[in-house]
Amino acid sequence: MFLGFCGSLVVGIFSIVYPLSEDSFPWWFLYLVLGWNLLFLNLMPIWGRIKTPNLAYFDRQTGKVGYTFDIPGCDERDEFGNCCFDWQDMKCVLVNQSTDQGGSSAFFPVISHKDRDKYPQTKMTIVVTELAQNPIYCLLFWERLVRFMDNTKPLPDIPEYEGYRHLDPITAEFDKQNNRPEVYWRDMSFKQQTEIYDELYKDACEIDWYNDAPQPEITKPWQHWTPEPERKETLNLKYKAKRLFIQLTCGIP
């Protein structure tokens, strides 16, 4: 996407400079940029399958953490034949280290098996944001992961999980007993969801995560915020043209 954006920027400069020049416009470069953005955009899912990346996955149902690559000393395998460990054996450490961006420092959550000396390959350094100079991003990430893996409670009621809540028995029963709307977050615009996120993020920043008592969880968000469907972007000509322009110039899906 960075190459596509830079190429589009150069094309924009050419468009301004060449009318004042006697040279002909380099149409080949324009075609190269458009071709690259379309190629990157459409073949991106295929590229990811050429070489399977080393991944870890968290299984809420079984309470296991699996890895798509082999780990020496791992004795347990899951239904996919991959190495796995009990979720209770995993730990998270907050680290502060320098980055390549001007020597600044950032916080990163590092997840690994509690016996890292025996299983060093289980170490995962998570990038929660571009430059996490505030540890709150890391704390919120770990909090969300811990809640997801707690299969004694329903799934956290957030937009990412709404389409899958019916697949989790505890969550489905909770939603039925509390008359949760089948479609709630999807009735909101992305802008309204962002406003709610900013509100909750501000509240989280005021918590002393190391000393304060656990805060009550918002399990029924529909009692706190009312969707405003009229703010949703519709698939009109203006919206389609904007998305098409972004895809052609930057290769963003």
50-100 residue pLDDT tens: 777 789 999 999 999 999 999 999 999 999 999 999 999 999 999 987 766
Report the predicted TM-score, pTM, of the whole model to 2 decimal places: 0.76
Task: Give the pLDDT confidence of 226-250 residue by residue, as tens digits.
Answer: 999 888 877 788 888 888 888 888 7
Given a cut of 90, is residue 121 above it in pLDDT?
yes
- Could you tell me the residue ranges of all domains in the chain? 2-51, 54-151, 153-253
* Max CA pair span of the chain: 74
Region of 216 on the Ramachandran plot (φ > 0 left; ψ -120 to 50 alpha; else beta): beta
Spatial distance between the Cα atoms of 129 and 132, rounded to a whole number of angstroms: 6
Handedness of CA 141, 99, 89, 73 (dihedral sign): positive
For position 102, what pLDDT does the model report? 58
For position 234, what pLDDT does the model report? 78
Q: How, if at all, do strands 64-67 and 56-59 pair?
A: antiparallel
- Please, are residues 127 and 65 in contact by the beta-carbon 8 Å criterion? no
Banded pLDDT at 101 (limits 50, 70, 90): low
Q: Higher pLDDT residue, 22 or 15?
A: 15
For position 235, what pLDDT does the model report? 77
State what percent of residues in the chain have pLDDT above 70. 96
What are the start-end ranges of the H helices in the chain? 2-17, 27-50, 136-149, 169-177, 190-205, 237-250
